[in-house]
Structure 1
Amino acid sequence: DIFPKAYHTLVHSPVPSIFDTFVQLEHNYKQVLKDLISTREKKISDINELAKEVEESGNSFRQLEEVEFYKVTLISELEEIQRKQKKEYCNFVLKLYEKHQRLLAQQQQCSTMDVNMVFRLDGKEIVSEVISEMKKEEKENSNDKLSKELLKLDNQYTNGSKSVGRSRNGSISSLADVVCSPTPNNFDEKLTGNVNENGNEDDSHLIVKITDLGFTEEQAKTALMMTHRNLDQAVELLLEKPEKVDAQIANGGASNMPQIPRRASTPIVNQTPQQTLRRTKSNGRQLQLTAMQNQKQEKKGTWSPMMFLQQQKNNMSSQNNSSVRKLSIWFKENFGSEEGNGNGNNIDDSRLVESFTISLGNQVKVTHNLRLLVSDMDELLKSSNDPARNMAYIAQTAADLYSQNLTAIILLLTPKDWPQYKLGKSANKEFFERCKESTEFHFDEVETQLKAIEKDYPIDGSDGPSLREGDFFITRHSNLPLVHVVFHLVIDFESIQESELTNRSRVIDGLRNILRTVNRFDITTISLPFLMLPSNVDAFSDSNFDEKLLYRRGELILKCTKGSMIDNSRSSKHVTEKENDTKTVSFLLPKTANEQQFHEFRDLLTMIFRAS
């Protein structure tokens, strides 16, 4: 299957706008499903209200039938739309990959090798050409009708090209002529337009904006020069790859860089030929907040890193601490920029959360970030209602999908939940709802994945072994916010008193096996329930619960996690550059935990790990 390779190559392509296209298209697809679900749920709600009004007369049976009818219809409609979206999306990716590879091959064959030429290619033109080809196929086969979401991209890119005066010859050969042109300077002149004579004044204004976010003036100047005075890309560069800016400063900073005229088209960053043509590896610190960075301000609500961060800074400016420090804290907790994502995507600022750093290992030091926070898995899996943030989640999830920077969570279920589990009618209902909110483009639907597992663990147990405590199975996802892998761990839970954990409990064995799997497959971030309690168990609000039992339960989970970390650091696995990346483990306390209980478990964590 060439699709994973094609997708990964395009996501990390240096050609501008390719990655943005995927983010925008996936967002548009998701919005279609969201609107459908919202409309149907409102209809069901109206019918239920009507049923309550006529309940006294005993004629509510008809309304109940209508509710069931709309529920079944909704499921059927969602499945059909998702099927069409997946087919169209996969076809689009493969065709775009073919065009993309042909262009890069032509660029490599050119006698004139401009290392930045690939950045000057207009990805929007490539996308428009691919969509035009798909339109031709649509005329030949009326069954493959293109969606409005895909056609909207073509209209947007075509109109955008006309608005900035770019010519579109309508064939890939014209792009090849640009790539292999023996006079690239003419090409630059076409893109450059009139140079702003007040460049120094503009630069000063941009530098002030960047320094307001906490960066030094030298960092601001250097980043602007490296990104050809593009504010959004300069901020992105400082956030994602500050080491490149620091290296340039060490070499003389902005003063040693050639003066490059302003351009009306997408800016470029100087790179070596090898950096230009190779597929970029995902970085643990990388945050793809460039979901819309190359799109012009064509409509209200267009998102950019600078605008987004400035908005957060303004929201915090009325508080006592410095806005820069608070912006940094907000950024870490919401996007985990320094903690391998950290799964902090939906954690409110007011929630109790604290992070620690430890290093384990003798010969090879492996750094871990430990996060203790009051939340639950349902909250981590929620999508944002803010389109800009939702697109940032899509971008980050896509960038890390086929990489060594995967993010995982652990969900709990009991053996009793298994018969109805794949239908989303027992444990972790919110998880299944999140899976249905958008189309799964890369893997089988979660229900299909669970059906395959069901063959090995039949529901009735007649044709094979049934699920037992400590067993776990894995599902893969590309449509959950910042989550790629889900471990479903079976726990035989009756009550805190009757299900007390010990070092020999099968649940602890299951957790150890999960942590071994995490290390084996280079999953850099994992979130797990601190107390290993089902989501429907409210331990802290029940006065009958013995907190000492909860404390011992948490202590055992921490010791198990630490032991697995030590074992993994001693493994004979060959050392790669990935070993230098930070791994993150998040321990989630139930949302009913108060501040005192949070600090008690915080002290327990620091005592066991001796964390800084």
Structure 2
Amino acid sequence: KYSLFRYFCHRFKEFVFEFRAGKYNCILKVPLQFPVQVNISDLHGRLMLLHKIPCYVENELKSTLSSFIEKETTLDYDKEAEVALQRLTTGDVDVNQLASAWARSYAESTLEHARPEEPSWDEDFADVYHELIHSPASETLLNLEHNYFVSISELISERDMEIKKLQERQAAEMDKVMHELGNTLSDHDVNAVASHHFDAQQVLENKWTSELMQVTCIQKKEYQDWVVKLHQDLQKSNNSSKINEEIKVQPSQLSEEADSGARMFEEQPQLEESFTIHLGAQLKTMHNLRLVRADVLDFCKHRRHGSSGAKLRRLQTALSLYSSSLCGLVLLVDNRVNSYSGIKRDFATVAKECTDFHFSCLEKQLEEVQQVLLYARVQRSSKQKEQFEIQKNGGDDKSKSVERNPSNILPGNGCTLNSEFYVSRHSNLSEVHVVFHLCVDDNVRSGNITARDPAIMGLRNILKVCCTHDVTTVTVPLLLVHDMSEEMTIPWCLKRAELVFKCVKGFMMEMVSWDGGISRTVQFLVPKSISEEMFYQLSNMLPQIFRVSSTLTLTSKH
């Protein structure tokens, strides 16, 4: 039924143009295919050049060509319209279906008929929370969050105690079994007891995991509903003093660990040095630098004792949760995206101690990272199929193991493309909103890494993400390790610190082209086990590499 339409689409018409060149009458005949797909100005230029048309008829040719194309195009549209009307009158086309198609096309292309976007619950809750945390009701919110945190902490303590008792009981049973081995019991009996113990531990751990997940979901639902209701009540009444009296931190929750927590911090004081620098070629930008000796998880842990410092840090984190002044932390992890071992397990334990009322739990975020990672691997494999074939045929064992595990992140082997990291968002950590999980391998413990090492390039990419996503405070492991070991001597530490200082300085100077020059705070973190002497050596090195602002005193003689 579209034969006539195809005929019109592929019909040729002859364009005729007459002009006089001296004593000769010239005629130009050009077949044109309609509808004309080329630009008229381009077609006119080609005709002038191909047929050597005199320049004094250039404008006349262009106007005649334009009029001819416009006229013939209109005639084609008229004929097409007549054919369509004939099909309509003969009943070949359903009138109702045609009217519905026209109405749908008009509604989809007209803004006033567009469907309004459905409000997002996450965005609405974020707006409500941001307004409340900057109001007198902020203390009420913090008290409620602290009460929930204490409840989860008590539940976790109960879980740990029950698991510990089970392990002690199983250890005693295993000692008895081993004592009877060879007399009344065989190796088969020992294996059966060990298997039974393992199953019992799994059942107990799954039971507590399910219970903690259920309590966390209940707390999150209750908290979000209560925040929305509180916002509605505050809109109706300007008197918030009564609401602030609803929730208070129970004194019994603070008394047990206040003294022990204070003693702990007195035994291991946190060393810190602060500096102010100006970086930039023409336009100088002021930045704050800190050198801190602490454990990396100290920036994530909440403290059950109600010290004023901990409360202020929690308030500051809550105030800047939905703002352009976020706080980030670089966590050094291996290439497996999970939370089952090492620092990842310790971080996951801290993240579970307090319910996240704004974002998904860590396990769900890691699942999303794995899905994105698998998709990225498929995309890369399709574009670099030949390279993967070469690795399969002649690659080393390491590349083959990575190939067999596409859900792993590449720690890098000197290639800057492999400096990968993944990001998790949190509202339940003490001083951090964003955690950058930087993938490193054992190469960072050697003393011969350079500025092109994947870990260094990963820091550069992280700082670039900080610039594009409003992370104005970022904590970076200065030595690219979280714990000290025997091979990390004084020369090793000084060499590594100098490398990271210089690289970060270069990256910060690049920030001007990334964000236009915004003042930021970079915290260089060193392990808690480092000596005070080494800490102050690193502190003296920092102002030598960065230009530290200092007061200049001028004296004049009269």
- Interval of TM-score (by shorter of Structure 1 and Structure 2): 0.5 to 0.7
Contact 2:279/2:285, CA 8 A, preserved across alignment = yes
Contact 1:408/1:484, CA 8 A, preserved across alignment = yes
Indicate how the Cα distance of structure 1 residues 399 and 604 shifts in structure 2: closer, same or farther if over 3 A, else same: same
Match of 1:122 in 2: 240
* Distance in 1, Cα, partners of 2:254 & 2:331: 36
* Distance in 1, Cα, partners of 2:130 & 2:444: 46
Deviation at 1:11, TM superposition (A): 1.0
Match of 2:480 in 1: 532
Query: What residue identity is the alignment partner of 2:321?
Result: L
Indicate how the Cα distance of structure 1 residues 38 and 401 shifts in structure 2: closer, same or farther if over 3 A, else same: same
SS at match of 1:26: helix
Deviation at 1:524, TM superposition (A): 2.1
Superposed CA offset, 1:376-397 (max 9, x none): 3123323223134554443222
Indicate how the Cα distance of structure 1 residues 432 and 301 shifts in structure 2: closer, same or farther if over 3 A, else same: closer
Between 373-382 and 477-486, the greater mean CA deviation after superposition: 373-382
Between 55-64 and 365-374, the greater mean CA deviation after superposition: 55-64
Match of 1:223 in 2: none
* Distance in 1, Cα, partners of 2:288 & 2:267: 20
Match of 2:325 in 1: 405
Match of 2:286 in 1: 367
Contact 1:559/1:608, CA 8 A, preserved across alignment = yes
* Distance in 2, Cα, partners of 1:71 & 1:302: 28
Indicate how the Cα distance of structure 1 residues 348 and 559 shifts in structure 2: closer, same or farther if over 3 A, else same: farther
Match of 1:481 in 2: 430
2:145 counterpart (26, 49, 52): 26
Superposed CA offset, 1:456-508 (max 9, x none): 223975796852231011110000101101011111224633x7321222222
Query: What residue identity is the alignment partner of 1:88?
Result: E
* Distance in 2, Cα, partners of 1:524 & 1:602: 22
* Distance in 2, Cα, partners of 1:503 & 1:437: 38
Indicate how the Cα distance of structure 1 residues 364 and 10 shifts in structure 2: closer, same or farther if over 3 A, else same: farther
Match of 1:5 in 2: 127
Superposed CA offset, 1:122-181 (max 9, x none): 3535x8xxxxxxxxxxxxxxxxxxxxxxxxx85x6xxxxxxxxxxxxxxxxxxxxxxxxx
Match of 1:563 in 2: 506
2:211 counterpart (56, 77, 95): 77
Contact 2:464/2:514, CA 8 A, preserved across alignment = no
Tell me whether 1:587 sits opposite 2:524 in the alignment: yes
Contact 2:254/2:306, CA 8 A, preserved across alignment = no
Q: Which 5+ residue runs of structure 2 have no aligned equivalent?
A: 1-119, 178-189, 378-401, 412-418, 551-558
Match of 1:39 in 2: 158
Superposed CA offset, 1:279-312 (max 9, x none): xxxxxxxxxxxxx7xx9xx968999xxxx9xx9x
Alignment of 1:80-479 (within 5 A): 80-103=214-237, 118=238, 121-125=239-243, 154=246, 350-361=269-280, 364-389=283-308, 390-415=310-335, 418=336, 421-458=337-374, 466-469=408-411, 470-479=419-428
Superposed CA offset, 1:522-549 (max 9, x none): 222111111112x3x523xx1x445434
Tell me whether 1:514 sits opposite 2:457 in the alignment: no
Deviation at 1:19, TM superposition (A): 1.4
Query: What residue identity is the alignment partner of 1:87?
Result: K
Match of 2:174 in 1: 55
Indicate how the Cα distance of structure 1 residues 510 and 30 shifts in structure 2: closer, same or farther if over 3 A, else same: same
Match of 1:263 in 2: none
Superposed CA offset, 1:32-63 (max 9, x none): 11111111211111222222323222186455
* Distance in 2, Cα, partners of 1:55 & 1:8: 55
Indicate how the Cα distance of structure 1 residues 64 and 456 shifts in structure 2: closer, same or farther if over 3 A, else same: closer
Higher helix share: 2
SS at match of 1:478: coil
* Distance in 1, Cα, partners of 2:403 & 2:543: 44
Query: What residue identity is the alignment partner of 1:122?
Result: S
Between 80-89 and 381-390, the greater mean CA deviation after superposition: 381-390
* Distance in 2, Cα, partners of 1:609 & 1:527: 17
Match of 2:544 in 1: 607
Contact 2:338/2:344, CA 8 A, preserved across alignment = no
Percent identical pairs in the alignment equals 31
- RMSD between aligned residues: 3.3
Deviation at 1:445, TM superposition (A): 0.7
Query: What residue identity is the alignment partner of 2:535?
Result: F
* Distance in 2, Cα, partners of 1:382 & 1:463: 33
Match of 1:175 in 2: none
* Distance in 2, Cα, partners of 1:88 & 1:387: 23
Deviation at 1:30, TM superposition (A): 1.1
* Distance in 1, Cα, partners of 2:271 & 2:127: 40
Query: What residue identity is the alignment partner of 1:468?
Result: L
- Residue-pair matches, total: 374
* Distance in 2, Cα, partners of 1:53 & 1:388: 41
Match of 2:449 in 1: 501
Report the structure number with the largest CA radius of gyration: 2
Indicate how the Cα distance of structure 1 residues 457 and 587 shifts in structure 2: closer, same or farther if over 3 A, else same: same
Match of 2:441 in 1: 492
SS at match of 1:350: coil
* Distance in 2, Cα, partners of 1:346 & 1:98: 41
* Distance in 2, Cα, partners of 1:101 & 1:364: 45
Q: Which 5+ residue runs of structure 1 have no aligned equivalent?
A: 104-117, 128-152, 157-291, 317-344
Contact 2:451/2:499, CA 8 A, preserved across alignment = yes
Contact 1:449/1:475, CA 8 A, preserved across alignment = yes
